[in-house]
Amino acid sequence: MTASAKTIAVERAVRVIEPGPLALVHDLGRPGLAALGVSASGAFDRAAHRLANRLVGNLEEAAAVECLLGGLRPALPPGTWFAVTGAWSHAVLVTTDGVRRAVEPHTAMRVDAAGELHLGVVLHGLRSTVALRGGLAVPAVLGSRSRDTLAALGPEPLRAGDVLPLGPEPASRVPPVDLVPVDPPAYGVVELGVRPGPRHEWFTASAQRLLAETEWITSARSDRTGVRLEGPALSRVPELIGVELASEGMLRGSIQISPDGAPTVLGPDHPVTGGYPVIAVVVDASLDLLAQLRPGQPVRLRRATGRR
Amino acid sequence: MRLLPCGDRALLAEFDALDHALAAHSRWTASAALGIVELVPAARTVLVRLDPAVIGLGAAEQWLVAHAPAVTPGGSQARGGGQPIGLSVVYDGDDLAVVAEAWGCSPSAVVHRHVATEWVCAFIGFTPGFPYLVPAPGTDALPPVPRRATSRARVPSGSVALAAEYCGVYPRESPGGWQLIGRTSAVLWDADRASPALVTPGARVRFTPVRA
């Protein structure tokens, strides 16, 4: 490689200084491969992912970083546009001449000279999306640049020193948007819409009532595979206690009940099939909220209305 | 066939037997309606994922019923012509004795019965490329095998294992609770291959014993 080619390569890449607790590359996943045992995976907060990409003029499906809890510090080459969406934290852009500029959420910013983006600890929500103009051009696996944490498919979690190439300049310009009115992820009780699942009849009437009336607590043992909810045990009808369900297809949002009666809402990296009965399924419109639930945060499951 | 609710963007079609689920999966896959995003076959069910912007739950229900395969009582809903996929196996699994006890025979008879059976892939689950194999239609069923009381933290890649009515092959090292009877050097899963899964739903499989 010649010196000039090397310079160009370096200019068009982002270097990870600190990944924070967990930083993953994501696009909108690889749907359609479940028959091979591969889940769709993809950005957990899809709306945040799409918005971050739109803000910097990328296609919505471009690969970006999904950063858990904050703490991510990438070094950005001069002229890079970026935007941070999803969870809110104090974020600053530190340029090489020592100038610190506050980074507003949901706003495209340009790094004039080379600089470092510092994401603070998240204050609202759990996962931030950092999109960079051009998108992350890491190799795709089965058509996607998403990290499936359960199947261990796709780009490895980011580590300090990783160099991520940026894709070519997109066709569309950075849109001139001053303010995107998006509320920060909620602090208090989060309400998720649910519809009946295929095995709701496995559970007692009182379990169905508890599902709808309980203020559930988001467990710390939650990840991209599933979000566990703590609360009362949901009992099966007596004749189905101890009965094993043959494995069946699962969805993002399926609420499966383990034998001890505890609900888990499946996330984007869920197993393709599972053997725990699904009492209800979170509706599409509420799925992104799951990504931002903080450990200890209360959750209510409300029966979504509308035509079946 | 029963269509069970599954939230606002899917339906779960349930059948009385694996054969029927497989037949419906292949029929629906072949004639895929617009707006049906994904069909996920499993033991007794096919999960039908929809794009609600393209097809509503009601319209999808009608389409699924109209295109459900006719079921011949007792008849085989066999699929997948062609040659079976051959997998060479060293039968030295740690749980051969457990399976022998469950089947009421000797460990060598377990190997003999496993080799004599033609298997068909019912579905893939657990991890990418992990096939759930059952005896092919017209073959004698084998007695069910209990899962291990506690899972192993690490089952080596290529392990051939039994649980319930299924035979499976671990595509990569992973935790697992199935009873191990042997190992194969075949690569069950390679994301860089044109066809990443070696064994896909409907494919037939024969096992051949080899020395270590």
Assembly ipTM: 0.90
Mean pLDDT score, B100-113: 96
Please name the member of B4, B12, B40 whose beta carbon is closest to the beta carbon of A272. B40
The DSSP secondary-structure symbol of B63 reads H
Distance CA A181, CA A88 (A): 14
Q: What is the phi/psi pair of residue A270, to 5°?
A: -65, 155
Please name the member of A199, A248, A280 whose beta carbon is closest to the beta carbon of B42. A248
CA-based nearest residue to A234, from A254, A220, A251, A214: A214
Distances in whole angstroms, Cα of residue A243 to Cα of each of A62, A238, A239, A277: 44, 10, 8, 10
Q: What is the phi/psi pair of residue A167, to 5°?
A: -75, 175
The DSSP secondary-structure symbol of A285 reads G
Does residue A200 sit at the B interface (CB-CB below 8 Å)? yes
The shortest C-alpha distance from B24 to chain A (Å) reads 14
SS3 call for A136: strand
Distance CA A115, CA A222 (A): 34
What pLDDT does residue B18 have? 85
Instruction: List A residues 25-44 in contact with B (Cβ-Cβ < 8 A).
Output: 31-32, 34-38
Domains of chain A with bracketed CATH: 3-165 (no CATH), 190-303 (2.40.100.10)
Distance CA A36, CA A46 (A): 24
Question: B42, A195: Cβ pair inside 8 Å?
Answer: no
- Helix or strand holding residue A82 (H, E): strand A81-95
The pLDDT tens digits for B37-79 are 999 999 899 999 999 899 999 999 999 999 998 765 444 444 5
Does residue B3 sit at the A interface (CB-CB below 8 Å)? no
Domains of chain B with bracketed CATH: 2-66 (3.30.1360.40), 85-209 (2.40.100.10)
Q: What is the phi/psi pair of residue A93, to 5°?
A: -105, 120
Distance CA A253, CA A227 (A): 9
Please report which confidence band the pLDDT of residue B149 belongs to, taking 50, 70 and 90 as the band edges.
Answer: confident
* Angle value at C-alpha A197, between A196 and A202, nearest 5 degrees: 100
The pLDDT tens digits for A57-113 are 999 999 999 999 999 999 999 999 999 999 999 999 998 888 999 999 999 999 988
Look up the pTM and report it.
Answer: 0.91
The DSSP secondary-structure symbol of A92 reads E
Torsion of CA A116, A117, A120, A123, to 10 degrees: 170
CA-based nearest residue to A65, from A6, A131, A164: A131
